Amino acid sequence: MVKTFNIPDEKVPELIEVFGEYYQTNILDENGDLVVNTQTKAQFANEQFDNRIKNYVKDIVVSYRNNIAQASVDNTNIIE
């Protein structure tokens, strides 16, 4: 299943600001040196958006599974 989100063009700049809040122009490379981030703020924001959606869906599924598992637990008192 594929889902698509249609975001109006005029809303994109705000979403880039919201999901790009923690974007850094300069980042540390594997040697610990400060270098220019090769990822743009828009790319970073897009990645953050995707991650938030995936995590939200995962959380809902896990919660559902936990509810189903809890409902199937036999709470009958085994000592009469």
Domain that holds residue 34: 13-70
Q: Which two tokens stand for residue 18?
A: 């919201």
Is residue 55 one of the residues assigned to a domain? yes
Is residue 58 one of the residues assigned to a domain? yes
19-33 pLDDT per residue, tens: 999 999 999 999 999
Q: Look-up: residue for tokens 């995590």?
A: 55
Is residue 54 one of the residues assigned to a domain? yes
Please say if the pLDDT value at position 2 is more than 80. yes
Task: Supply the pTM of this predicted model.
Answer: 0.77
Is residue 80 one of the residues assigned to a domain? no
Total domains present in the chain: 1
Contact 19, 45 (CB under 8 A): yes
Residue 26 phi, psi dihedral angles, 5° rounding:
-120, 140
Is residue 34 one of the residues assigned to a domain? yes
Is residue 6 one of the residues assigned to a domain? no
pLDDT at 24: 97
48-68 pLDDT per residue, tens: 999 999 999 999 999 999 999
Is residue 24 one of the residues assigned to a domain? yes
